[in-house]
Amino acid sequence: MRTTERLIDNIDLEQAMAKAVDLCKSKNIRLTKTRKRVLEIIWQNQGILKAYDILEILEKEDKSAKPITVYRALDFLIENGLAYKVESINSFFSCPKIDQTCEFQLLICDKCGKVEAVPTPEACRSLDQYANELGFKVTSKVIEAHGACKECQNCTVGK
């Protein structure tokens, strides 16, 4: 499992889950036990996780957990705005602020794997406006930037 920066500090998991349940009820969709648990795992780790990291945690609780179970849960969560996929590193994360629009850019360190979410509502609005002008309907967006974090930039070979 890669070490990641925390995307959300001091979250109330119970309150966040109640909002997720309410959102699903309002859309008349089921937040099954497995979908709920995958969402909890992502929130509890407060970072970017690969599907197999999630599976590893699930297998400790249920030996019958399978990759397809995790991928189906992730697909559901993404489709309903409860989770996001970081395409460039094939990983997943979620923002427990269900009642807020998550508008951010991900800064991904290619050296150590740390990921930091930076609020960028202006950039997201500009992208939406440009897409609308072109007649393009945006269904999902996660802005990703790759590089080196401050700590990795300060590291030298041999230390």
Beta bridge partners of 109: 147
Q: Of all residues in the chain, what percent carry a pLDDT higher than 90?
A: 39
Listed residue (111, 112, 110, 72) closest to 92, CA to CA: 72
CATH code, 13-154? 1.10.10.10
Domain residue ranges of the chain, discontinuous segments joined by +:
13-154
Q: What is the pLDDT of residues 76-134, one digit of tens each?
A: 998 888 888 888 889 988 766 665 566 778 888 888 877 777 878 888 889 999 999 99
What's the predicted TM-score (pTM) here?
Answer: 0.75
The residue ranges of DSSP E strands in the chain, in sequence order, are: 84-86, 91-93, 104-109, 115-119, 143-147
